[in-house]
Amino acid sequence: MTSLYGFTQEGLEAWLGERGHRKFHAMQAWESLYRKRVRDFAGMEAAGVKPEVARLLEESYAIGTLEEHTRQESVDGTVKFLFRLQDGNLIETVLMKHKFGLSVCVTTQVGCNIGCSFCASGLLAKSRDLTAGEIAEQIMRVQLFLDDAGQGQRVSHIVVMGIGEPFDNYAHLMDFLAIVQHPKGLAIGPRHITVSTSGLTAKIRDFADSGVPANLAVSLHAPNDELRTRIMKINKAYPIAKLLDSIDYYLERTRRRITLEYILLADVNDRREEAQQLAELVRSRPQLLKLANVNLIPYNPVDEHSQYRRSAQDAIDGFYDVLKKNGVSVSVRLEHGADIDAACGQLRSKQLRGGEGKEPAAAGV
C-alpha cells in the first residue's frame, strides 16, 4: 500500500478533486492527518472528515507504512527509532532534545552510494530511495511518540542528515519539505530545517533556484582536492573549485547563511596546516566568508573504518582557534546519544544474510 503521508497538500486536493470532492474536504483530510494526527480511517471519520472521502482514501492508501522495530532511549534524551519498511529494509530516525527545541534526523535512502571512507551509512550501496511518504512518516512517527507521552511536545526542527544523500533523491526530498512545512499541517518552518549534502553541485544550484528557504549544509571535510578525494571519492566528480562555484551561486541567489561541515579525523585533516588552508579557502570567496559557518564534527569511530581515529581535544581546540583568528565563523558540533550509537555516521544500513532477513541501522546526525 502507498502511504497517505506521501501526498503534498496540493497533491491530495488534486487526487480527491479528480474524484469529485471539493477542496474543503481535502483540507479536512489533510488537517486530520497532521493536526489531529489520526492513526486510522475510523479516526479520520471521527475527526469530521466526510465518510465518503475517508472510505475512498482507505481503498487506495494506508495512513502509514512503517513498522516500529525497536526504539532506544539515551540518558541525554536522544531517542533512536528503527523502522521496518514494507519491503523489509530497516531505517533509522533519531530524535534529539536541544535547548531550542526538538529535532529529528531523517533517513532519505536505504544505504548510500557516495561511499565516504569514514561513514557507516556508505558501507552498503544504496538499494533504493525512500519515497516522500516514507521520509515524512519518520517525522510523524516521532510526533505520535511525543503525543503519546502527553507533554504537548512538538517536533520543531528537522535535519536531513540520516542515511543517504538527500540530493540523490531530490524530487522526493522536495515533496517531503513541502509536506512538513505546510502551515495547515505540521508547520515546521523551513528555517528550522537543514539539508546536508556531500556536494552534488547541480542539485545545489537547483535547490537555490527552488526558492525553498531551508538551510543548506555542505560536507566539505578537507581543504584541498588531494585530501578530499582521499576521504570522499565523490570529490573526483565534484572537486572543490566546482563545489565552491555552486555554493557561490547558492549564496548569490538566496543570501542565506550556509554551513560547511568538517569532520575531524586525527592526523588526517585536523592539523593546523589544514586549518590554515581551510581558512584561506573560505577567505578566498567574499560571500563565503560573510555567510558560511564552519561546523567542526568530532569523528565518531566506526568499527569498519579502523584507519581513522577521533581527534584529541587539543587538536579540536587548535583547529577552532586557527579559523577564529582568521575571522572565519566556526562552531563545534555537540554530540547526542553517544551511548546508543545515535551519533553521526553511526547510523547504518546493514543487511544480514539469512536470519531475520534485513537488519540495518543507520545515519548521521
Applying CB under 6 A, which residues contact ligand SF4?
Answer: 112, 114-116, 119, 121-122, 163-165, 198, 219, 364
Site string for ligand SAH, 101-140 (x = CB under 6 A): -----------------xx---------------------
Q: Return the number of the residue (54 or 158) whose C-beta is nearest ligand SAH.
A: 158
Is 3 a binder of ligand SAH (CB under 6 A)?
no
Min dist CB 61 to ligand SAH, Å, is 29
Pairing of strands 157-160, 193-197: parallel
Reported residue count of the chain is 365
220 has binding-site annotation: yes
Bridge partners, residue 95, by sequence: 79, 104
Contacts to ligand SAH from residues 313-342, by CB under 6 A: none
Among 196, 201, 259, 311, binds ligand SAH (CB under 6 A): 196
Tell me the angle at which helices 9-18 and 23-34 cross, rounded to the nearest 10 degrees: 140
The single-letter code of the amino acid at 256 is R
CA dihedral 186, 191, 195, 199 (to 10 degrees): 160
Site for ligand SAH in 346-365 (CB under 6 A): 363-364
Give the range of 54-62, 85-93, 175-183, 193-201 binding ligand SAH by CB under 6 A. 193-201
Does residue 137 carry a catalytic annotation?
no
For the segment 76-95, give every residue that binds ligand SAH (CB under 6 A): none
The span from the CA of 130 to the CA of 117, in Å, is: 23
The answer to whether residues 30 and 187 touch, using CB atoms and an 8 Å cutoff, is: no
List the grid coordinates of 337.
546519544
Any known ligand binding at 105?
Answer: no
Q: Is 105 a catalytic residue?
A: no
Tell the burial category of 97 from Cβ atoms under 10 Å away from its Cβ (0-12, 13-18, 19+).
middle
Supply φ then ψ for residue 160, to 5 degrees: -95, 80
If the CB atoms of residues 14 and 312 are measured against ligand SAH, the closer one turns out to be: 312
Could you give the residue numbers annotated as active site? 92, 344
- For ligand SAH, the binding residues (CB under 6 A) are 118-119, 161, 165, 196-198, 219, 261, 263, 297, 299-300, 302, 344-345, 363-364
